[in-house]
């Protein structure tokens, strides 16, 4: 009887520790203290990665995780911003303004979970402004202005981006203006703006359990909508990663990090699991 019990325990241990069982266990994602997502504009992977006009972005690509098969959702710009922020293009196929949606977004998910969010937009004329354009500011690139469940006071000008990064909300989006996001300005101008304004945060994130995501809304119709996407932070394993991802995968990853509900097409998108320390 004792011998049969020992065999039973041995078989139980074999089942618990088998490779099959381990393979069925979902990968654990890190939970960054802060995430900052920067959205750039209208350039393909091949126009940025390896370009002498983007030395800082290429430095980030070597310091962090570079996704070599990252794709936007469609054209033009606005549907991509809505996709990464709400899991859906919300039926929008152009850059028209204004829009109001009563559905949930990443911000409303965070707020419902007692988490914090801010969107920081260069050139936004005032906190909570719903103006469609102002100088080089364009609301079509600022999706949190379109969702009625979101908090208007979380819509901030970039001048409010804190120099003390511990005061950042849990998740932030940073939107440069049309000259500094490479939409109307040059690649070199966008690269310089990113270095001047986010390099201190990128360096700080490397030792403070935080994450910087730099991605593009879409390409310039030249490369099947293939875009650069880079993750940089303390929890990131530097290297190149070849799995196919898009804006929904990024949203799903953020949602899974903080155990949020899955929005729209993020529910069927795979979280990014292989780039973490």
Report if residue 109 sits inside a domain.
yes
Q: 240, 229 in Cβ contact below 8 A? A: no
**Would 62 be classed as within a structural domain?**
yes
Domain that holds residue 135: 29-267
For residue 267, give both structure tokens: 């529910």
Q: CA 217 to CA 43: how far, in whole Å?
A: 9
Number of domains in the chain: 1
Closest to 105 measured CA to CA, from 38, 150, 151, 168 = 150
Q: Residues 85, 143: contact at Cβ < 8 Å?
A: yes
CATH number of domain containing 85: 3.40.720.10
Rg value, the chain, Cα? 20
22 belongs to a structural domain = no
Encode pLDDT of 96-111 as tens digits.
999 999 999 999 999 9
On the CB side of 36, CA atoms within 13 Å amount to 29
Give pLDDT tens digits for 218-236: 999 988 999 999 999 999 9
Q: Report yes or no on 10 lying in a domain.
A: no
* In a domain? residue 160: yes
pLDDT at 27: 61
Between CA 83 and CA 264 the distance in angstroms is 9
Given this model, what pLDDT does residue 13 score? 41
In contact, 144 and 173? CB cutoff 8 Å? yes
Kind plus residue range of the DSSP H or E element containing 228: strand 226-233
- pTM of the model as a whole: 0.90
Q: 17 lies in a domain?
A: no
């Amino acid at each position: 009887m004792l011998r049969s019990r020992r065999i039973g325990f041995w078989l139980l241990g074999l089942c618990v520790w088998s490779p099959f069982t381990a393979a069925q266990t979902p990968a654990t994602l890190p939970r960054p203290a802060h995430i900052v997502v920067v959205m750039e504009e209208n350039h393909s992977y091949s126009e940025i990665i390896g370009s002498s006009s983007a030395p800082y972005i290429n430095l980030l690509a070597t310091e962090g995780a570079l996704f070599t098969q990252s794709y936007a959702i469609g054209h033009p710009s606005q549907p991509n911003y809505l996709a990464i922020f709400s899991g859906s293009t919300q039926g929008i196929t152009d850059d028209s303004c204004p829009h109001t949606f009563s559905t949930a977004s990443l911000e409303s998910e965070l707020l419902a979970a007692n988490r914090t969010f801010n969107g920081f937009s260069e050139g936004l004329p005032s906190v909570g402004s719903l103006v469609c354009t102002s100088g080089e500011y364009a609301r079509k690139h600022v999706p949190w202005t379109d969702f009625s469940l979101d908090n208007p006071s979380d819509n901030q000008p970039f001048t409010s981006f804190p120099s003390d990064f511990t005061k950042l909300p849990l998740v932030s989006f940073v939107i440069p203006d049309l000259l500094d996001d490479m939409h109307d300005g040059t690649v070199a101008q966008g690269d310089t703006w990113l270095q001047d304004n986010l390099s201190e945060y990128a360096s700080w994130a490397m030792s403070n359990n935080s994450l910087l995501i730099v991605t593009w809304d879409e390409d310039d119709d030249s490369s099947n909508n293939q875009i650069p996407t880079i993750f940089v932070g303390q929890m990131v394993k530097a290297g190149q990663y070849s799995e196919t991802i898009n804006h929904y995968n990024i949203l799903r990853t953020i949602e899974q990090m903080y155990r949020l509900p899955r929005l729209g097409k993020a529910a069927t998108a795979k979280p990014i699991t292989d780039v973490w320390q």
